[in-house]
Structure 1
Amino acid sequence: MSTIDLNKDSFQEAIQGDKPLIVDFWAPWCGPCRSFAPVFDAASKEHEDIVFAKVNTEEEQELAAGMGIRSIPTLMVFRERVLLFSQAGALSAGQLNQLLEQVKELDMAQVHAEIAAQNNGGQAPDEA
Protein backbone atom coordinates (compact mmCIF):
# COMPACT_ATOMS: atom_id res chain seq x y z
CA MET A 1 0.00 0.00 0.00
CA SER A 2 1.32 3.44 -0.78
CA THR A 3 1.28 6.31 1.64
CA ILE A 4 -1.50 8.87 1.72
CA ASP A 5 -1.16 12.59 2.33
CA LEU A 6 -3.24 13.97 5.17
CA ASN A 7 -4.45 17.50 5.81
CA LYS A 8 -6.50 19.06 8.59
CA ASP A 9 -9.71 17.99 6.83
CA SER A 10 -8.78 14.33 6.23
CA PHE A 11 -6.87 13.72 9.48
CA GLN A 12 -9.89 13.05 11.73
CA GLU A 13 -11.39 10.67 9.21
CA ALA A 14 -8.08 8.80 8.92
CA ILE A 15 -7.72 8.15 12.67
CA GLN A 16 -11.24 6.73 12.76
CA GLY A 17 -10.48 4.03 10.19
CA ASP A 18 -10.54 0.31 10.94
CA LYS A 19 -6.82 -0.24 10.34
CA PRO A 20 -3.97 1.04 12.49
CA LEU A 21 -2.64 4.36 11.20
CA ILE A 22 0.97 5.53 11.29
CA VAL A 23 1.58 9.19 10.49
CA ASP A 24 4.93 10.72 9.52
CA PHE A 25 5.06 14.47 10.20
CA TRP A 26 7.81 15.84 7.95
CA ALA A 27 9.02 18.86 5.96
CA PRO A 28 10.75 19.10 2.58
CA TRP A 29 13.77 20.95 4.00
CA CYS A 30 14.38 18.36 6.77
CA GLY A 31 17.39 16.11 6.10
CA PRO A 32 16.42 13.38 8.59
CA CYS A 33 12.89 13.41 7.10
CA ARG A 34 14.29 12.81 3.61
CA SER A 35 16.51 10.00 4.95
CA PHE A 36 13.56 8.34 6.71
CA ALA A 37 11.17 8.58 3.74
CA PRO A 38 12.47 5.42 1.94
CA VAL A 39 12.25 3.41 5.19
CA PHE A 40 8.66 4.57 5.72
CA ASP A 41 7.71 3.84 2.10
CA ALA A 42 9.29 0.36 2.21
CA ALA A 43 7.38 -0.48 5.40
CA SER A 44 4.13 0.65 3.75
CA LYS A 45 4.63 -2.02 1.09
CA GLU A 46 5.32 -4.73 3.70
CA HIS A 47 2.42 -3.97 6.04
CA GLU A 48 -0.76 -3.98 3.98
CA ASP A 49 -2.84 -4.11 7.16
CA ILE A 50 -1.64 -0.67 8.33
CA VAL A 51 -2.44 2.72 6.79
CA PHE A 52 0.67 4.85 6.22
CA ALA A 53 0.19 8.60 6.01
CA LYS A 54 2.32 11.71 5.76
CA VAL A 55 1.70 15.27 6.90
CA ASN A 56 3.82 18.00 5.34
CA THR A 57 4.23 20.35 8.30
CA GLU A 58 5.05 23.28 5.99
CA GLU A 59 1.70 22.97 4.21
CA GLU A 60 -0.30 21.84 7.27
CA GLN A 61 1.01 24.15 9.99
CA GLU A 62 -2.34 24.31 11.78
CA LEU A 63 -2.60 20.51 11.97
CA ALA A 64 1.03 20.17 13.09
CA ALA A 65 0.53 22.77 15.81
CA GLY A 66 -2.70 21.12 16.92
CA MET A 67 -0.91 17.80 17.28
CA GLY A 68 1.91 19.41 19.28
CA ILE A 69 4.62 18.74 16.70
CA ARG A 70 7.78 20.47 17.92
CA SER A 71 10.45 18.64 15.92
CA ILE A 72 10.47 16.55 12.80
CA PRO A 73 10.29 13.87 11.74
CA THR A 74 7.69 12.84 14.30
CA LEU A 75 5.84 9.55 14.09
CA MET A 76 2.43 8.98 15.59
CA VAL A 77 0.52 5.70 15.63
CA PHE A 78 -3.25 5.52 16.11
CA ARG A 79 -5.50 2.51 16.45
CA GLU A 80 -9.22 2.67 17.11
CA ARG A 81 -8.95 6.46 17.61
CA VAL A 82 -6.32 6.02 20.35
CA LEU A 83 -2.86 7.59 20.10
CA LEU A 84 -0.58 4.67 20.97
CA PHE A 85 2.83 6.10 20.07
CA SER A 86 4.36 9.49 19.47
CA GLN A 87 8.08 10.08 19.04
CA ALA A 88 10.28 12.62 17.36
CA GLY A 89 13.19 11.31 15.33
CA ALA A 90 13.64 8.85 12.51
CA LEU A 91 13.56 5.13 13.19
CA SER A 92 15.64 2.46 11.50
CA ALA A 93 13.83 -0.11 9.36
CA GLY A 94 14.18 -2.67 12.16
CA GLN A 95 12.84 -0.28 14.81
CA LEU A 96 9.89 0.67 12.61
CA ASN A 97 9.00 -2.95 11.88
CA GLN A 98 9.23 -3.81 15.59
CA LEU A 99 6.92 -0.89 16.45
CA LEU A 100 4.39 -1.95 13.82
CA GLU A 101 4.35 -5.55 15.05
CA GLN A 102 3.76 -4.33 18.62
CA VAL A 103 0.87 -2.15 17.45
CA LYS A 104 -0.75 -5.09 15.66
CA GLU A 105 -0.41 -7.36 18.71
CA LEU A 106 -1.94 -4.91 21.19
CA ASP A 107 -5.11 -6.00 22.96
CA MET A 108 -7.23 -2.94 22.20
CA ALA A 109 -10.02 -4.07 24.54
CA GLN A 110 -7.52 -3.81 27.39
CA VAL A 111 -6.30 -0.43 26.13
CA HIS A 112 -9.85 0.93 26.02
CA ALA A 113 -10.53 -0.48 29.51
CA GLU A 114 -7.41 1.24 30.88
CA ILE A 115 -8.47 4.54 29.29
CA ALA A 116 -11.96 4.19 30.72
CA ALA A 117 -10.49 3.48 34.17
CA GLN A 118 -8.31 6.60 33.96
CA ASN A 119 -11.33 8.67 32.93
CA ASN A 120 -13.33 7.28 35.88
CA GLY A 121 -10.73 8.30 38.46
CA GLY A 122 -8.93 4.97 38.49
CA GLN A 123 -12.01 2.76 38.76
CA ALA A 124 -12.76 0.09 36.20
CA PRO A 125 -15.88 0.92 34.14
CA ASP A 126 -18.01 -1.69 35.93
CA GLU A 127 -16.99 -0.28 39.32
CA ALA A 128 -18.00 3.31 38.53
Structure 2
Amino acid sequence: MATTQITSAEFEKTITGNEIVFVDFWATWCGPCRAFGPIYEEASDKPENKGIVFAKVDIDQNQDLAAAAGIQAVPTLMIVKDGTVVFQQAGALRAEDLDDLIDQAKKLDVAAAKAESAQA
Protein backbone atom coordinates (compact mmCIF):
# COMPACT_ATOMS: atom_id res chain seq x y z
CA MET A 1 0.00 0.00 0.00
CA ALA A 2 1.50 3.32 -1.02
CA THR A 3 1.38 6.44 1.10
CA THR A 4 -1.76 8.56 1.01
CA GLN A 5 -1.88 12.35 1.18
CA ILE A 6 -4.59 13.41 3.62
CA THR A 7 -6.05 16.76 4.55
CA SER A 8 -7.55 18.17 7.72
CA ALA A 9 -10.98 17.12 6.47
CA GLU A 10 -9.91 13.48 6.08
CA PHE A 11 -7.73 13.15 9.18
CA GLU A 12 -10.34 12.16 11.78
CA LYS A 13 -11.99 9.60 9.51
CA THR A 14 -8.60 8.13 8.63
CA ILE A 15 -7.40 7.69 12.21
CA THR A 16 -10.70 6.36 13.54
CA GLY A 17 -11.52 4.14 10.57
CA ASN A 18 -8.29 2.12 10.58
CA GLU A 19 -6.56 -0.02 13.19
CA ILE A 20 -3.04 1.38 12.69
CA VAL A 21 -2.24 4.70 11.02
CA PHE A 22 1.20 6.22 10.61
CA VAL A 23 1.10 9.94 9.84
CA ASP A 24 4.11 11.77 8.43
CA PHE A 25 3.76 15.53 8.97
CA TRP A 26 6.10 17.09 6.42
CA ALA A 27 6.78 20.16 4.26
CA THR A 28 8.08 20.57 0.71
CA TRP A 29 10.86 22.94 1.85
CA CYS A 30 12.16 20.54 4.54
CA GLY A 31 15.41 18.71 3.70
CA PRO A 32 15.03 16.00 6.37
CA CYS A 33 11.44 15.45 5.14
CA ARG A 34 12.72 14.83 1.62
CA ALA A 35 15.29 12.37 3.01
CA PHE A 36 12.69 10.52 5.10
CA GLY A 37 10.04 10.44 2.35
CA PRO A 38 11.52 7.51 0.35
CA ILE A 39 12.10 5.50 3.56
CA TYR A 40 8.46 6.04 4.57
CA GLU A 41 7.24 5.18 1.06
CA GLU A 42 9.32 1.98 1.02
CA ALA A 43 7.90 0.88 4.38
CA SER A 44 4.37 1.44 3.08
CA ASP A 45 5.04 -0.93 0.17
CA LYS A 46 6.33 -3.85 2.27
CA PRO A 47 3.97 -6.87 2.22
CA GLU A 48 4.28 -7.31 5.99
CA ASN A 49 2.83 -3.82 6.49
CA LYS A 50 -0.34 -4.51 4.53
CA GLY A 51 -3.32 -3.12 6.41
CA ILE A 52 -1.39 -0.23 7.95
CA VAL A 53 -2.29 3.20 6.60
CA PHE A 54 0.73 5.35 5.80
CA ALA A 55 -0.62 8.90 5.58
CA LYS A 56 1.21 12.12 4.79
CA VAL A 57 0.11 15.60 5.86
CA ASP A 58 1.66 18.66 4.22
CA ILE A 59 1.79 21.13 7.11
CA ASP A 60 1.73 24.14 4.79
CA GLN A 61 -1.50 22.96 3.17
CA ASN A 62 -3.04 21.89 6.51
CA GLN A 63 -1.85 24.42 9.06
CA ASP A 64 -4.94 23.98 11.25
CA LEU A 65 -4.32 20.25 11.57
CA ALA A 66 -0.60 20.71 12.24
CA ALA A 67 -1.43 23.21 15.00
CA ALA A 68 -4.11 20.95 16.52
CA ALA A 69 -1.66 18.02 16.50
CA GLY A 70 1.00 20.13 18.22
CA ILE A 71 3.47 19.82 15.36
CA GLN A 72 6.44 22.08 16.12
CA ALA A 73 9.06 20.55 13.81
CA VAL A 74 9.08 18.48 10.65
CA PRO A 75 9.21 15.74 9.86
CA THR A 76 7.09 14.50 12.74
CA LEU A 77 5.84 10.93 12.80
CA MET A 78 2.59 10.17 14.61
CA ILE A 79 1.30 6.65 15.19
CA VAL A 80 -2.38 6.10 15.93
CA LYS A 81 -3.66 2.68 16.95
CA ASP A 82 -7.32 1.98 17.62
CA GLY A 83 -8.03 5.72 17.49
CA THR A 84 -5.43 6.57 20.13
CA VAL A 85 -2.19 8.44 19.50
CA VAL A 86 0.46 6.05 20.82
CA PHE A 87 3.60 7.77 19.50
CA GLN A 88 4.64 11.18 18.22
CA GLN A 89 8.21 12.28 17.58
CA ALA A 90 9.95 14.85 15.43
CA GLY A 91 12.93 13.94 13.29
CA ALA A 92 13.71 11.77 10.31
CA LEU A 93 14.14 8.08 11.01
CA ARG A 94 16.42 5.47 9.52
CA ALA A 95 14.68 2.56 7.77
CA GLU A 96 15.54 0.11 10.54
CA ASP A 97 14.20 2.46 13.22
CA LEU A 98 10.93 2.90 11.30
CA ASP A 99 10.66 -0.89 10.89
CA ASP A 100 11.15 -1.27 14.65
CA LEU A 101 8.39 1.27 15.37
CA ILE A 102 6.06 -0.55 12.98
CA ASP A 103 6.70 -3.84 14.80
CA GLN A 104 6.09 -2.20 18.18
CA ALA A 105 2.84 -0.64 16.95
CA LYS A 106 1.60 -4.00 15.65
CA LYS A 107 2.29 -5.66 19.03
CA LEU A 108 0.93 -2.87 21.24
CA ASP A 109 -2.24 -3.68 23.16
CA VAL A 110 -3.81 -0.23 23.47
CA ALA A 111 -6.50 -1.32 25.95
CA ALA A 112 -3.91 -2.87 28.27
CA ALA A 113 -1.68 0.21 27.99
CA LYS A 114 -4.62 2.48 28.85
CA ALA A 115 -5.54 0.33 31.85
CA GLU A 116 -1.95 0.33 33.07
CA SER A 117 -1.73 4.09 32.64
CA ALA A 118 -4.98 4.61 34.56
CA GLN A 119 -3.64 2.60 37.50
CA ALA A 120 -0.40 4.61 37.67
Q: TM-score, length-normalised on structure 2?
A: 0.93
The counterpart of 1:85, out of the listed 71, 75, 87, is 87
The answer to whether the 8 A contact 2:22-2:54 is kept is: yes
- Taking the TM superposition and a 5 Å limit, the aligned residue runs for 1:1-128 are 1-46=1-46, 47-114=49-116, 117=118, 122=119
Superposed CA offset, 1:75-116 (max 9, x none): 00000111110000000000000000000011222023235x
Number of residue equivalences: 118
Q: Secondary structure at the match of 2:18?
A: coil
2:32 maps to a residue whose letter is P
- Alignment gaps of 5+ in structure 2: none
Q: TM-score, length-normalised on structure 1?
A: 0.87
Structure 1 runs, 4 residues or longer, greater than 4 Å off: none
Q: Secondary structure at the match of 1:87?
A: strand
**Residue 50 (structure 1) shift:** 0.9
RMSD (Å) for aligned C-alpha atoms: 1.3
Higher relative contact order (CA 8 A, sep 6+): 2
Q: Secondary structure at the match of 1:12?
A: helix
- Alignment gaps of 5+ in structure 1: 124-128
